[in-house]
Structure 1
Amino acid sequence: MIANVKTLLPALLCVSILSLSGCGSKSKTDEAMKTVDTGEAMGATESLDSTPRGISEGRTSEGMLPVYFNYDSSDIKSDQVPRIEVNAAFMKSNPDLSIRIEGNCDARGTNEYNMALGERRALAGKKYLLNLGIDEAKLSTVSYGEERMLLHGHDELSWAQNRRDDFVVVE
């Protein structure tokens, strides 16, 4: 009985597959996939006069630089002061722009701790810019904690790149 099942089962499987697959009509499929060109545009016309803002480094908008932090710290290091001064100069030369400072952390620590640390980092960047004469109304902050990592490695280089403030133009 078992020998009959062993030979009958593969045969039934093959017959089932062949009968379920069927033979589709290729011409019907090809016809359904053709696009109809009506000569109209696919969407609304956009102006080409706008000045797109790209990303310079990290997730920071072009014209500014991210600021990096030491492990478990929200203090702006002395080697990062020139970077934040570049950001202040950019903001002063573009007073119509609003900037969001995004605090980020590496993956070490709990989510709650990293959200709080990211907030302290964003607020430290904002405070430094305020001291450099930037209008507070043009600045906002957000913490992403470890949610927006640039590098997902488990080494010091990856962690160091993820401990940063990004400065993003908001429109």
Structure 2
Amino acid sequence: MTTRPVASSLTAVKQEVVLRPIFKFAVVSVLGVALVGCSKKPPEALPPSPDATPYEASADTGPAPGSQADFLAQMQGRDTIFFETDRYNIDSIDMTALQQQAAWLRRYPYKTARIEGHCDERGTREYNLALGEKRANAAKNYLVSLGLDAGRLSIVSYGKERPVALGSDEASWERNRRAVTITID
């Protein structure tokens, strides 16, 4: 019975002798990996973003030349002409507005424009679509008479479908009977 404990202790010693270098290797490997992983240099500072770059504040330059915003700024409300009830004739006030539109369009010969005809809510849908088309065509024809190429101008009628004033009174109806010029890129 004494041999048994000796054999067991020999086996334990052999296991300890064999396992000790493996254990040391494992510990050293784990520590080595940990040290290598932690030894990274911090990233270099990134250059400032373009938004953060200091610059001199310049005067307000306004809208880009030739843009719809530029057109609206130059027209100062004269991008729209108004009509009497059931009418599509161009009066002297409308002529002045259309002359300014033509001058702007001549300055930017690559631009095209769409003229939108609108009506008030009274009348049938079909009647108002036809009247809106006549209003848009009247504006287009006057612009063409001022020397603009008809191919640069298109028309569309929205009839009573796109009111700017939602009331059912004369003031609202007056604002809705209109032709609006929109520039197109």
Does TM, scored on the shorter chain, surpass 0.5? yes
Q: CA deviation at 1:163?
A: 0.6
Say whether 1:122 aligns with 2:136.
Answer: yes
Q: TM-score, with normalisation over the residues of structure 2? A: 0.60
Q: CA deviation at 1:143?
A: 0.3
Identity %: 42
Distance between the aligned counterparts of 1:166 and 1:154, measured in 2?
21
- Structure with the bigger percentage of helix: 2
Any residues of structure 2 matched to 1:31-70 within 5 Å, and which? Answer: 51=64, 53-54=68-69, 61-64=72-75, 65-70=79-84
> Given the alignment, which residue of 156, 166, 169 partners 2:170?
156
**1:76: which partner in 2?**
90
Query: Are the counterparts in 1 of residues 115 and 153 from structure 2 also a CA contact under 8 Å?
Result: yes
Residue type at the aligned position of 1:100: R
Q: CA deviation at 1:114?
A: 0.2
- The 1:55/1:67 distance shift into structure 2, 3 A limit, reads farther
**1:87: which partner in 2?**
101
Residue type at the aligned position of 1:137: G
Which runs of 5 or more structure 1 residues have no equivalent in the other structure? 1-49
**Bigger Rg, which one:** 2
Which runs of 5 or more structure 2 residues have no equivalent in the other structure? 1-62
- Aligned-residue Cα RMSD (Å) equals 1.8
Say whether 1:96 aligns with 2:110.
Answer: yes
**1:139: which partner in 2?**
153
Distance between the aligned counterparts of 2:73 and 2:153, measured in 1?
17
Runs of 4+ in 1 over 3 A off after TM superposition: 61-64
Aligned length: 118
Q: TM-score, with normalisation over the residues of structure 1? A: 0.64
